[in-house]
Amino acid sequence: MKVRDLHARPLETQQQPSPVHHDLYRQAAEAIADDCWSIDPAWLLDHPEFYEQIKALDDQLTTMEHAGVNEGEYRATLARLISCIQDARAEQSREVSERARQ
């Protein structure tokens, strides 16, 4: 849960994150850990479009988890996040290879 969420609603009205959503997120994070770790933070700073999309999707998943959306909708958004991370990794690799050829 994010700090700003604590101020948004009284504690008694806050829903706990769904264990199913949490498990799906954890499994996806484990599956793409190598892609995440191999993206150079400096490269990501030079490509804010990837950073902003990854951050927005992650924030959206947090919101969905707390809202208790259905599993299919959550999975679809999680798939978009995974795809974005993999696209960023592929683009970085392409740029590195291109620079090496020059």
Residue 62 Cα distances to 5, 12, 69, 94, angstroms:
10, 19, 11, 31
Cα–Cα distance measured from residue 89 to residue 82, given in angstroms and rounded to the nearest whole number: 11
What would the pLDDT profile of 40-66 be if each residue is shown by its tens digit?
999 999 999 999 999 999 999 999 998
pLDDT in tens, 5-21: 444 544 444 456 577 88
Run of H or E residues at 44: helix 41-46
User: Where along the chain do its domains lie?
Assistant: 40-102
CA dihedral 93, 59, 73, 10 (to 10 degrees): 170
pTM > 0.85:
no
